[in-house]
Amino acid sequence: MSSIGPLPPVGTDAGLGPGGEDPRSALSRVDPTGSPVESTSIELKEVEGLSLGRVVLRRFRHHRAAMISLVVLFVVVILSFSSIGLHVFGLNTAGWWRWTFDEVPSIVNGGQPTLTIVPFEIGSHPFGQDSVGHDMFAMVMRGIQQSLMIVFVTGIVSTFIGAVLGAVAGYFGGLTDSLLMRLTDMVIIVPLLLLAAIVGNAVNGPSVILASVLGLLVWTTLARLVRGEVLALREREFVDAARVAGASSARIMFRHILPNTVGVIVVSATLTMSATILLETAISYLGFGVHAPDVSLGLLISNYQTAFTTRPWLFWWPGIFIVIIALTINFIGDGLRDAFDPRQRRGLKRSARLDKKKAELAAAAQAGS
């Protein structure tokens, strides 16, 4: 099989010819000239005989920035959770770091950071202390935990709601679609800060609640994207085939159609997460997010912004970690988008360009001789 045409829908048994082969590949093989079109076969050679998942994984692994980001993010996660341990739902484990984020040790050397690169030394307070004596390293680690938790909870909640509502609206159409889309319009115009304020003032609960509430508000983009995809997909043959085979609406939606929108969902979820981390910091900054005595990265910056001239490290460290987390998630999202986009043939383009250059050089050499 030299060319397989467009990628076959994943997770569908219907619509495939004998041997699981996409019938459309047979069409593209029957070419007026009798041979497969040269460019198509070159473009598709790298994905020949691979499932969508493997193709995506392979492309993603070749995205250098995304892979580096993945490693960096992983290191940050390990660092924050191992250093001060886990503190959720009354579960407390100790970490290897000597202070916790709510301890108040005595101030050493005016609270200056003890971290030095040459000679490498961590010291007792690598990121310094605030004017009370809180250890900045422990607080930043706690802040990272809070921010990451909020990002993931919001990501999961919003992705779930967005994907389900988008799929239902796109699949059923008509009145359901109109009602759900008007609901989306409504959620878009409700000010986000208002709900954050309710969580902050009225509920005053743990940040998990704040994260879930954020998730209840930021699903709208995903719902619209999924709806658009589903609108196109439900007209495809494999949906008809599944319906003829007697599948229920729910089964068609969740087993046949949604797996095909996984690219859109994954990419949008990542971008939502990277937006959420900034959202959380902004809300905490305005005083509606995570509350003292707990800390988040945004709250740390907000608390210490007036200390910028006297104790700049209180301002720098949380900011640097916000940037690292947001940047890595953004690059991972970018890598995923490139990986899921079948039109992206970046590596190939570069090698094709090299070939062209070689050919030109050869031609020039010939002309010169």
Partner 1 sequence: MLSFIARRFLASLAVLLVASYLVYILAASTGDPLSDLRQSSLPNKTTLIQQRIELLNLDLPPYLRYFVWAGGVLGAFIGKFNLGDTVDGQHVTELLGSAAGTTLQLVTGALLIGIVIGVTLGIVTALRQYSAFDYTVTFISFLFFSLPIFWIAVMLKQFGAIGFNNFLADPRVSTPAVIVLSLLSGVVWMGIVGGSGRRRLTTFLVAAVAAATVLIFITLTGWLNNPTLGPVVTTGLSAGVAVVVTVLSTGWENKRSRYTALTVAGLGLVLYYPLHLLFDQFSIINTFTVLATVIVITALGGLVGWLWGGLDRWQSVRTGAITGVVVALILLLDRFLASWNIYFSQVANGRPIGTIGASTPDLVGSFWVTGIDTFTHLLLPTVALILASLAGYSRYARASLLEVMNQDYIRTARAKGLTERTVVMRHAFRNALIPITTVIALDFGALISGAIVTENVFAWSGMGALFNQALHKVDLNPIMGFFLVTAIAAISFNFLADVIYSALDPRIRVSA
The nearest distance, CB 363 to partner 1, in angstroms, is 16
The nearest distance, CB 187 to partner 1, in angstroms, is 8
Name which of 65 and 107 has its Cβ closer to partner 1: 65
Alpha carbons within 13 A on the beta-carbon side of 354: 6
Collapsing DSSP to helix, strand or coil, 295 comes out as coil
Name which of 54 and 349 has its Cβ closer to partner 1: 349
Looking at the DSSP bridge assignments, the partners of residue 88 are: 91
174-204 burial: b if 16+ Cβ within 10 Å, else e? eeebeebbeebeebeeeebeebbbebbeeee
Of the candidates 337, 349, 263, which has an alpha carbon nearest to the alpha carbon of residue 60?
337
The nearest distance, CB 51 to partner 1, in angstroms, is 26
Name which of 26 and 323 has its Cβ closer to partner 1: 323
Residues forming contacts to partner 1 in the complex (CB under 8 A) are 65, 178, 182, 185-186, 188-191, 193-195, 197-198, 201-202, 274, 278, 281-282, 285-288, 298, 301-302, 305, 308-309, 315, 319, 322-323, 326-327, 330-331, 334, 343, 346, 349-350
Name which of 55 and 65 has its Cβ closer to partner 1: 65
The nearest distance, CB 248 to partner 1, in angstroms, is 27
The nearest distance, CB 250 to partner 1, in angstroms, is 25
The nearest distance, CB 288 to partner 1, in angstroms, is 7
The nearest distance, CB 245 to partner 1, in angstroms, is 31
Q: How far is CA 251 from each of CA 14, 147, 242, 277, 335, rounded to the nearest angstrom?
A: 13, 36, 9, 35, 31
Of the candidates 274, 296, 86, 90, which has an alpha carbon nearest to the alpha carbon of residue 207?
296
Name which of 194 and 363 has its Cβ closer to partner 1: 194
Name which of 8 and 143 has its Cβ closer to partner 1: 143
d(CA 161, CA 175): 19
Name which of 254 and 316 has its Cβ closer to partner 1: 316
Query: 50 Cβ partners below 8 Å, 6+ apart?
Result: 58
- Whether the CB-CB separation of 38 and 19 falls below 8 Å is answered with no
What letter does residue 311 receive in the DSSP assignment? -
